[in-house]
Amino acid sequence: MRKDYGITFFYYPDIHAVTAFYETVLGFELVLDQGLARIYRIAPNSYFGIVDGNRGHLRHQEKSAVLLTIVAQDVEAWHEKLSAAGVAGLTELRRGNYCDHFFFEDPAGYALEIQRFHNPDVAKLFA
């Protein structure tokens, strides 16, 4: 059976406390405001949502064990932008086996990563 796209959801005690971060700092495009959830387009056919963890399917957890990775070609510019915005938990730019990347946190402590595959053969797998 065909799959069209995926949506990853993070759960918060107060989604309004993180809305500006995702819409203004990261520039995610709001596609749908459902009241208890907001769904954003990260890139074509790539979606992310924030959910009221008091009313949604799952409950907000004090410490998450999830990471949202955003693949972007201009990792350096993203790092500069997020550094200027003073985002929490911002690491230095790193070069791993497969990608150049860095990590940071949203206002509620969820982990995010911006990365670029530096091996063209690996990058092609996701094109």
Q: Could you tell me the CATH number of the domain that includes residue 34? A: 3.10.180.10
Confidence bin at 77 (pLDDT 50/70/90): very high
45 and 66 assigned to the same domain: no
Look at residue 65 in the predicted model and tell me its pLDDT: 79
- Please state the rounded mean pLDDT for residues 23-29: 97
Nearest one of 126, 74, 70 to 103, comparing CA atoms: 70
Q: Domain range spanning residue 113?
A: 62-127
CATH number of the domain at 104, please.
Answer: 3.30.720.110
Distance CA 9, CA 47 (A): 9
Q: Does 62 have pLDDT greater than 90?
A: no
The token duo for 34 is 């459902």
Question: Sign of the CA dihedral 124, 125, 126, 127?
Answer: positive
Burial label, 81 (beta-carbon count in 10 A; 0-12, 13-18, 19+): middle
Q: Does 56 have pLDDT greater than 90?
A: no
